[in-house]
């Protein structure tokens, strides 16, 4: 068996846990890709946020910790460009905090200076109250998390699948992490198994904020998480995103 780095082992562990949790629910519980409108399941919430103070605070990891692109409990992890693994007792700088109510539980995430999010439970808090010590982070752009079908796993080492530069089958391809994907909105293009819907991937392409890729709706199996506001048409999503960014800058 090939040697795996701690980072790879961590990602594999997250995927195993994620798939186990997903399979614990009846298949009919989850909405299908054809019903991408906002789910009627109880939704997570984010508290009103303000722009982060440039001042940073240094914290120490209590145990090994994952810092992911999105503030959620490791749903699908992150692609390599936006994923960081810290061993126990690592010193990290954080700038703000964000509180999410997800599937009946409260989570507090700290945003590192690199832009990724780490669970407050993974750091040595001591008597620190991060709600008072750090300002609230700007709100996260809405997204959904969908599990991906086995048939879209590429036949190569690692957990990879294709993501396309445009919603077209002959478009340029990027290899992204298979298992679960964060998506933001729906566009339409070439039909894949009779469905012309494509999801815009919410992850940054090669770490670039303004570059995204698309995955055909057929690649997805179950939706397991949603921040309200995702799943609409990409044109409408982009309009709301622009308004959201302007409000955050004020």
18 and 64: one domain?
Answer: yes
On whether the CB atoms of residues 109 and 102 are closer than 8 A, the answer is: no
Count other C-beta atoms under 10 Å from residue 168's C-beta.
12
Higher-pLDDT residue of 78 and 172 is 172
Domain boundary pick from 81, 100, 133: 133
What's the rounded mean pLDDT across residues 153-169?
92
Computed over every residue of the chain, the mean pLDDT equals 77
Regarding pTM above 0.75, the answer is: no
191 and 108: one domain?
Answer: no
pLDDT in tens, 189-230: 999 999 999 999 988 776 566 678 999 999 999 998 888 888
What's the rounded mean pLDDT across residues 72-100?
82
89 and 14: one domain?
Answer: yes
Is 86 a residue whose pLDDT tops 80?
A: yes
* 73 falls within a domain: yes
pLDDT in tens, 88-114: 999 999 999 998 877 788 889 999 998
For position 151, what pLDDT does the model report? Answer: 95
Domain harbouring 245, CATH code: 2.30.30.40
Residues above pLDDT 90, as percent of the chain: 38
Q: Identify any residues that bridge with 214 across adjacent strands, giving them in sequence order.
A: 164, 200
Side-chain-side CA neighbours of 80 within 13 Å: the count stands at 12
19 and 51: one domain?
Answer: yes
Round to whole Å and give the CA distance between 168 and 126.
Answer: 51
Task: Please give the residue range of the domain that contains residue 234.
Answer: 144-249
What's the rounded mean pLDDT across residues 179-192?
94
For position 186, what pLDDT does the model report? Answer: 95
* 83 falls within a domain: yes
Domain boundary pick from 133, 154, 174: 133
129 and 152: one domain?
Answer: no
* 139 falls within a domain: no
Round to whole Å and give the CA distance between 123 and 60.
Answer: 6
Round to whole Å and give the CA distance between 123 and 127.
Answer: 12
Side-chain-side CA neighbours of 243 within 13 Å: the count stands at 7
174 and 69: one domain?
Answer: no
């Amino acid at each position: 068996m090939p040697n795996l780095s701690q980072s790879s082992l961590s990602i594999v562990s997250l995927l195993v846990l994620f798939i186990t949790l997903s399979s614990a629910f009846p298949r009919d519980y989850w909405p299908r890709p054809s019903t991408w409108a906002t789910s009627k399941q109880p939704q997570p919430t984010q508290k009103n946020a303000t722009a982060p103070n440039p001042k940073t605070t240094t914290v120490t990891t209590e145990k090994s910790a994952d810092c992911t692109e999105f503030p959620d409990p490791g749903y699908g992890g992150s692609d390599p460009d936006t994923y960081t693994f810290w061993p126990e007792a690592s010193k990290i700088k954080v700038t703000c905090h964000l509180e999410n109510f997800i599937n009946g539980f409260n989570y507090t995430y700290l945003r590192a200076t690199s832009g990724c999010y780490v669970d407050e439970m993974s750091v040595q808090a001591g008597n620190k109250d991060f709600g008072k010590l750090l300002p609230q982070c700007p709100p996260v752009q809405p997204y959904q998390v969908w599990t991906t079908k086995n048939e879209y796993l590429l036949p190569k080492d690692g957990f990879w699948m294709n993501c396309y530069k445009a919603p077209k089958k002959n478009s340029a391809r990027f290899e992204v992490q298979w298992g679960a994907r964060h998506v933001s909105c729906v566009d339409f293009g070439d039909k894949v198994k009779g469905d012309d819907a494509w999801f815009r991937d919410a992850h940054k392409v090669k770490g670039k904020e303004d570059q995204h890729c698309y995955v055909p709706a057929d690649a997805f199996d179950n939706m397991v998480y949603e921040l309200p506001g995702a799943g609409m048409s990409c044109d409408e999503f982009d309009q709301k995103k622009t308004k959201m960014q302007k409000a955050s800058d004020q």
